[in-house]
Amino acid sequence: MNTSAEDVRDTAVRARVAAAALATASRAAKDRALLAMAEALGARSGELIEANALDVEAARAAGTAEAMVDRLTLTPARLAAMAGGLRQVAGLDDPVGEVVRGRVLPNGLELRQVRVPLGVVGIIYEARPNVTVDAAGLCLKSGNAALLRGSASAVRSNTALVGVLRDAALATGLPADAVQLVPGVDHESVKHLMRLRGLVDVLIPRGGAGLIRAVVEESTVPVIETGVGNCHVYVDVDADLDQALAITLNSKTHRVSVCNSTETLLVHRAVADVFLPRVLAALADAGVTVHGDETVRAHDGRVVPATDDDWAAEYLSLDLAMRVVDSLDDAVAHIRRWGSGHTEAIVTRSLGASRRFVATCDSAAVMVNASTRFTDGERFGMGAEIGISTQKLHARGPMGLPELTSTTWVGIGDGHLVS
CB atoms within 10 A of CB 92: 18
Task: Evaluate whether residue 382 is within a structural domain.
Answer: no
The answer to whether residues 158 and 255 belong to one domain is no
pLDDT in tens, 17-36: 999 999 999 999 999 999 99
Give rounded-to-5 percent helix, strand, coil for the chain: 45, 20, 35
Please give the biggest Cα pair distance in the chain. 80
Range with the lowest mean pLDDT among 64-68, 244-248, 342-346?
64-68
- Beta strand extents in 184-261 (DSSP E only): 202-206, 231-235
CA-wise closest residue to 317 among 65, 99, 56: 65
Average pLDDT rounded to a whole number, residues 284-312: 97
Looking at residue 2, its pLDDT comes to 66
Say if residues 313 and 289 touch (Cβ distance below 8 Å): no
pLDDT in tens, 109-155: 999 999 999 999 999 998 889 999 999 999 999 999 999 999 999 99
In the structure, what pLDDT confidence band is assigned to residue 7 with cuts at 50, 70 and 90? very high
Task: Evaluate whether residue 82 is within a structural domain.
Answer: yes
Burial of 326 (0-12, 13-18, 19+ CB in 10 A): exposed
Cα dihedral angle (115, 120, 126, 127), rounded to 10 degrees?
100
The answer to whether residues 287 and 357 belong to one domain is yes
The answer to whether residues 12 and 152 belong to one domain is yes
Q: Of 180 and 212, which is predicted with more confidence?
A: 180
The answer to whether residues 242 and 331 belong to one domain is yes
Q: Is 365 helix (H, G, I), strand (E, B) or coil?
A: strand
The answer to whether residues 206 and 279 belong to one domain is no
| CATH number of the domain that residue 255 is part of | 3.40.309.10
Q: Which domain holds residue 102?
A: 5-226+392-412
Cα dihedral angle (302, 306, 309, 311), rounded to 10 degrees?
110
CA 68 to chain CA mean position, Å: 18
The answer to whether residues 207 and 307 belong to one domain is no
| Nearest-angstrom CA–CA distance, 397 and 186 | 31
Provide the domain count of the chain. 2
CA-wise closest residue to 229 among 342, 325, 119: 342
Q: In 256-346, which residue ranges form alpha helices assigned H by DSSP?
A: 269-285, 294-297, 308-311, 328-338
Q: Tell me the whole-structure pTM to 2 decimals.
A: 0.89
Q: Sign of the CA dihedral 212, 197, 151, 3?
A: negative
The answer to whether residues 367 and 399 belong to one domain is no
| Nearest-angstrom CA–CA distance, 201 and 161 | 24
Identify residue 107 by its one-letter amino acid code: N
The answer to whether residues 132 and 168 belong to one domain is yes
Task: Evaluate whether residue 383 is within a structural domain.
Answer: no
Task: Evaluate whether residue 381 is within a structural domain.
Answer: no
The answer to whether residues 43 and 156 belong to one domain is yes
Task: Evaluate whether residue 386 is within a structural domain.
Answer: no
The answer to whether residues 75 and 183 belong to one domain is yes
Say if residues 179 and 162 touch (Cβ distance below 8 Å): yes
| Nearest-angstrom CA–CA distance, 11 and 26 | 24
Task: Evaluate whether residue 418 is within a structural domain.
Answer: no
**pLDDT of 268 above 90:** yes
Write the CB contacts of 51 (distance below 8 Å, at least 6 apart in sequence): 156, 157, 159, 160
| 200 to 19, 146, 170, 203, 285: CA distances (angstroms) | 10, 10, 22, 8, 49
| CATH number of the domain that residue 64 is part of | 3.40.605.10
Task: Evaluate whether residue 354 is within a structural domain.
Answer: yes
The answer to whether residues 30 and 147 belong to one domain is yes
pLDDT in tens, 70-113: 889 999 999 999 999 999 999 999 999 999 999 999 999 999 99
In the structure, what pLDDT confidence band is assigned to residue 233 with cuts at 50, 70 and 90? very high
The answer to whether residues 214 and 251 belong to one domain is no
Task: Evaluate whether residue 417 is within a structural domain.
Answer: no
Looking at residue 181, its pLDDT comes to 97
| Nearest-angstrom CA–CA distance, 69 and 124 | 19
